[in-house]
Every structure is written in C-alpha cells, then in structure tokens.
Structure 1
Amino acid sequence: MRLPLIALTALAACEAAPVAEGAARYDGIETRLLDGDLVNFRVKMANVADEEEVADYAACAAAQYALIRGYGFARNVRTIVNEEGGIWTGDAVYTISPALPRGLRTIDAEVTVADCAARDIPTV
C-alpha cells in the first residue's frame, strides 16, 4: 500500500504557498493564442483592492508571454474585469510584437516583467 502514501505526498507538494492575511492571492493564468500575434489571458485573483490589480496581473502575464515567444513588446487591446463573491477575474487580449506597436496602451515586455517581479506579481 505505498501508492496512497506517494499520492498524498504528491498532493501535499502541490499546495499553494501560504498567503499573508489580506494580501492579494493570485489564483492562476490561462493563456490562449487567438490568431498569430493576438493572445487572450484569463486571470483569477482574490483579496483584491480594485480592478487595476487584476489588470496588472494580466499585463504581467502578457509581458512574460511576449518574452517567451521572442518578442519585446505587447499592446493591450482590451481588459474586462469582473468580481463575484470575492473572486476577481480578468479577461484581457493583447497583441505581441518584436517592435514597439502603434497605440497608447503598449508595454515594454522586459521592463514590465522586471516591475512585476519587484511587486511580487507572478507571470506565465
């Protein structure tokens, strides 16, 4: 009967790290490539002060994704934030590109990922 013990050990190793009471809790990122350079990021959080925290989590995911794909920039197309029962979700769409895209809502992926790390916001 070693199998149940191994299974329990594996499950225990997957538990989330404890979060300080009242601190934002980052509950996951789902990434979907929509078409070419268009990417959808769905994020989930709890203990959020406002919509901006959710949008920042999505931006961090987009910036890291751009770097993983070998691109240096991203541009926010749209971000929709919802809250239900204390659980916040964000549904964001970004374009990723090797050069600075046109528009006002652009991010430099390297700078953004560094800022996210400094603010303890997880990325992809």
Structure 2
Amino acid sequence: MDRLTHVGLLVLLGAVTVVVSVTDAHLAYVRPGFRPFLLGAGVLLLALGVLGLTRGHATTRSARPAPSAHDHEHGTTPRVAWLLLLPVAVMFLVAPPALGAFTVARRAQCVRASRA
C-alpha cells in the first residue's frame, strides 16, 4: 500500500467512526457512556487523515531529489495491512441490531446469578 492508501483508510475509518458516534448506531457496539470517547477517536482519526492528505499534497508539489539506485521501495508494507479496511467494511455491511431491553435485563440477571 502506498501513502495515499494509508491516508485514505484513516479518513474513511475516521469518518465512519464519527458518523456512528453521532447517530445512535454506536449503541449496537459500545455502551452509551463511551460516546464521547468514540467521537474523540473518530475526530482524531479524521484529523490525522486530513493532515496526511495535506502533507502528502505539499510533498508532491515540492521538488524531489533524483532517486538513486537504492531508493526505490520493495513493497515494504505487508499485505496484511489491508485488514485495516475490515472494520470499515463491517460497519457498512454487517450492522448488528441494538440491544433491546429484554436482552439487557437478561444479561444483567446472568451476571448477578454468576456473582452470587
């Protein structure tokens, strides 16, 4: 993956995280008290991605020195890095339903019964 792909994944993941945390969709993944942390993480990812885009754009405009024989890259990023796209795909394709009151009450009873 090249730098633009890395930055694009950051922007995409940050945008999805912000959208999920602003809507009530985050309740399917985390507790309501984690909303500010989720929103902060999404804004941070989005800001880092936008910063990377602006820095990358400025780098491409500046004059680069002539590459030597040993400056070319050999694909140093592992292919497993594409797995960063997996959380974004899960958010878009598989949205779990929000927990209903019955499920929450049943889980609370199970926790109380196991502690007793």
Normalised TM-score (structure 2): 0.26
The structure number with the bigger radius of gyration is 2
- Structure number with higher helix proportion: 2
Normalised TM-score (structure 1): 0.24
Higher relative contact order (CA 8 A, sep 6+): 2
